[in-house]
Amino acid sequence: MQHRKTIIWLRRDLRIQDNLALWSGMEQGSIVPVFIWSPEEETKKVVVEAASWWLHHSLIELDRALQDRGSKLIVRKGKSLSILKELIEETGAQAVFFNERYEPEIRLRDQQIKETLEKEGIMVKAFHSNLLFPPLSIINNQGQPYKVFTPFWKKCLQMPIPLPKILPATLSSAHDKVKTLNIDELDLLPTIAWYKKLKEYWLPGEKGAINQCEQFIEERLWGYSTKRDYPYVQHVSRLSPHLTWGEISPRWIWHQLKEQEKIGSSNGQEDIDGFLRQLVWREFGYHQLVSFPEMIDSPLRKEFLFFPWEEREAEFSAWKEGRTGYPIIDAGMRELWETGWMHNRVRMVTASFLVKHLLIPWQRGASWFEETLLDADLANNSMGWQWVSGCGFDAAPYFRIFNPITQGQKFDEAGAYIRQWVPELKHLPAKYLHCPWTVPEEILREAGVELGTSYPFPIVEHSFARERALEAYNLIKK
């Protein structure tokens, strides 16, 4: 086989294990791993301040991992095509390999780059390394993409998933004299050092991802199916930011879980299946994005183009800041602001509150999540909001309007989660914690709560909001 020098263009695949572009480049010969910072080319706000903090540290960890194997990460800033051409000239590379991304504008850009470089005699190959299956490969009996999750899930279970590709201990590199920026020169860290709190909750990078996966399997997998909806126990994987940045591959996770099938009890099968189902739900989002790219901004069910949304700026601000007067909503929004993450059950409840209690357009909620979530990806953020709003193909029924009081009572009965994130209510007895506006005055005083001052009254009354939402949904049914 001809020995080729290959540029490995790393993007949202910041890992060395089970990285198909990197592994395939090594098979060709020597490699030049490169990360190009080109935020102006991104779709919408794909990288904002919270995510930039993660990216900064993930790149540091990736460079360290490459150096441990005798290579290093080349870092550049500018237009992707121009930088790739410069590197081809500097290194004499004959090929460019990368792993696919699926955002519509990025796919178009990548295709244009591929065509341009191939015309210049450069071999260009793209790999599906960040999903279990290539989009458009999971189709129904009519040859169409699935619009409903359950049959998609069942079809995926019939498909083989290859084992992860493991890199050798030493990499053959070809970039000793190639210039690189220092990662600090990308200016990814926000100018105000609020982000320092994030390091209390997260360890970006491939090593952190693998540790998180192993810890989940050892400590939180068993019981996942029954406990994952309870935010106070955190019986979830917390792998979502690592998956977003490609620090761990879904194939790696899938086979780690499959290994547990061999050693787990029959009771544990429900937990394994429950988590694998969530992994495939993520997959479903990407497959929908490729098949229906309009889902980013536009409802998939077109009758929702006529939904009577309302712009309520004061209420939108209260929602973002965790000042709605509903403790489970406020706890979730404050957890998001503090940690860059929110428990999935609470995501559903807070999102439902915005679109159904306040009738604020789902696109505004999706945009706020993009700005604040460390794990925000365009596919799953868009699909999740369309699901909650009822305008996706496989969506929650319009009449399903989460009651923020009973949701808190059911999933945070003793109030541990609320007390953590809404400390001004921490001295209220549990029976009153989920609806403090009903609490007798003497109990409020004893708990140090002054409604309207230390904690707000509800910005909307639940039964009124529910009826208003049902009326709005009935309008588009007609």
* Domain count for the chain: 3
pLDDT mean over 278-297: 97
**Whole-number Cα distances in Å, 281 to 208, 278, 379, 394:** 23, 5, 11, 11
Residues 246 and 314 in one domain: no
**Buried/exposed 381-409: b ≥16 CB within 10 Å, e otherwise:** bbbbbbbbbbbbbbbbebeebbbbbebbb
Helix (H) or strand (E) holding 98: strand 95-99
**If you average pLDDT over every residue of the chain, what do you get?**
94
Q: At what angle do helices 269-291 and 149-157 cross, to 10 degrees?
A: 110
Q: The domain that contains 18 carries what CATH number?
A: 3.40.50.620
User: Do the domain assignments include residue 432?
Assistant: yes
User: Do the domain assignments include residue 119?
Assistant: yes
Write down the pLDDT at residue 47.
Answer: 55
Residues 265 and 323 in one domain: no
pLDDT, tens digit, for every residue of 12-50? 999 999 999 999 999 999 999 999 999 889 875 555 678
User: Do the domain assignments include residue 173?
Assistant: no
Q: Which residue has the tokens 């977003």?
A: 244
User: Do the domain assignments include residue 368?
Assistant: yes
Residue 267, pLDDT > 80, answer no
Write down the pLDDT at residue 264.
Answer: 63
Report the length, in residues, of the chain: 478
Helix residue ranges, H only, 92-205: 104-119, 149-157
pTM of the full predicted structure? 0.95
- Residue type at 343 in one-letter notation: H
Task: Give the structural domain span for 280.
Answer: 131-162+207-291
Q: Which residue has the tokens 């009738």?
A: 359
Residues 146 and 108 in one domain: no
One DSSP character per residue, 284-336 reads HHHHHHHH-GGGGTS-SSGGGGG------HHHHHHHHHT-SS-HHHHHHHHHH
Q: What angle do CA 202, 207, 208 make, to 5 degrees?
A: 15
Domain boundary among 248, 271, 291: 291
pLDDT, tens digit, for every residue of 412-465? 999 999 999 999 999 999 999 999 999 999 999 999 999 999 999 999 999 999
pLDDT band at 478 (very low <50, low <70, confident <90, very high): low
pLDDT, tens digit, for every residue of 54-95? 999 999 999 999 999 999 999 999 999 999 999 999 999 999
Cβ contacts of residue 435 below 8 Å, gap of 6+? 405
SS3 (DSSP) at 455 = strand
**Whole-number Cα distances in Å, 326 to 86, 368, 412:** 55, 19, 13
Which of 79-83, 193-197, 304-308 shows the lowest per-residue confidence on average (mean pLDDT)? 193-197
Among 383, 311, 314, CA closest to 347: 383
